[in-house]
Amino acid sequence: MSDELRVWAPAGMPEVRPGDDLVALVGAVLDAAGPDRGPADGDVVVVTSKVVSKAEGRVVAAADREQAITDETVRVVATREHATGVTRIVENRLGLVMAAAGVDASNTPEGTVLLLPLDPDASARALRAGLQERFGVRLGVLLSDTAGRPWRTGQTDLAIGAAGVRVLEDLRGTTDTHGRALQVSMAAVADEIAAAAELVKGKATGRPVAVVRGLGHHVTDEDGPGARSLVRTGPDDMFARGSAEAYADGWKDATAAGRP
């Protein structure tokens, strides 16, 4: 394990258009970063999912935004009316719970909105394969997007696509500094890397690519299960129903198990 982490976002990414070769574009940006900042073995390349969506043609007219949100939605989690309209928090077809199903109007040409990539993990695998062939080193690749958290103000980036990165570090069964066994600790490594990368990429700097160095122990030879494995839905989602109902069911389960 490294005790040092370096993260940087090279400049020079042009406006991405449908059909563009993303491997060539990202590779050129990494090439131009200079000899000390070009990809090295064990680096993680984090790419904002918006440029992937643009290259894959996931662009729709802004007038169709509400319909696009509906089309991407598999479950409505919450809605709230406000002065400028209605915010919908939904589970989208990727299993992600996000505002507006991840349909985004920022950093896209006027009159258009972007949908998330069709299969972010597949996009990450293709990008990884191309970059590894180009640079001849072992890399991890993450696709990141911005999301809010239900009990925290503000947004942060998380990984919606992953290849060659150990997305989750399961620490259960290990011990802490006092020798106590850890029971539930699992680090969402991919999300932590995505959030760190966003600190240097920013929202309006034209730098959608970041390189993270120092986490080679989390870079794997195989592509791995991808970021989809981090999604907690279905039976594992404690908040799929209303809080009162979830609390009542939890109380019933605890009572049945003999716990107060």
- 180-194: pLDDT as tens digits: 665 556 788 999 999
Tell me what pLDDT residue 82 has. 83
Q: How many residues does the chain have?
A: 260
Domains annotated for the chain, with CATH where assigned, are 6-50+117-256 (3.30.1330.100), 59-116 (3.90.1660.10)
Tell me what pLDDT residue 80 has. 87
Can you tell me the mean pLDDT for 29-44?
93
Tell me what pLDDT residue 17 has. 94
Compute, in degrees rounded to 10, the torsion defined by CA atoms 67, 105, 167, 2.
180
The secondary structure of the chain as a DSSP string is --S--EEE--S-PPPP-TT--HHHHHHHHHHTT-TTTS--TT-EEEEEHHHHHHHTT-EEEGGGHHHHHHHHEEEEEEEEEETTEEEEEEEETTS-EEEGGG-B-TTS-TTEEEPPPS-HHHHHHHHHHHHHHHH-S--EEEEEEEEEETTEEEEEEEEEEEESB---EE-TT-B-TTSPBPSS-EE-HHHHHHHHHHHHH-SSSS--EEEEES-GGGB-SS--S-GGGG---GGG-TTSS-HHHHHHHHHHHHHHTT--
Q: Rounded mean pLDDT of the chain?
A: 88
Tell me what pLDDT residue 125 has. 98
Can you tell me the mean pLDDT for 26-33?
96
Q: What is the C-alpha to C-alpha distance for residues 79 and 176, in angstroms, rounded to an integer?
A: 41
The residue whose two tokens read 């107060």 is: 260
Name the token pair of 113.
């909105």
Residue 228 near residue 95, CB atoms below 8 Å: yes
Nearest to 49 by CA among 114, 143, 126, 163: 143
pTM for this model (two decimals): 0.88
53 φ, ψ to 5°?
-60, -40
Residue 79 near residue 99, CB atoms below 8 Å: no
Tell me what pLDDT residue 178 has. 61
Residue 90 near residue 68, CB atoms below 8 Å: no
Residue 248: band (very low, low, confident or very high) from pLDDT cuts 50, 70, 90: low
Tell me what pLDDT residue 243 has. 54
Can you tell me the mean pLDDT for 242-257?
55
Percent of the chain with pLDDT over 70: 85
Burial of 161 (0-12, 13-18, 19+ CB in 10 A): buried
- 64-115: pLDDT as tens digits: 899 999 999 999 988 888 888 888 999 999 999 999 999 998 888 889 999 9
- 140-194: pLDDT as tens digits: 999 999 999 888 999 999 999 999 999 997 665 566 666 666 555 678 899 999 9
Tell me what pLDDT residue 54 has. 96
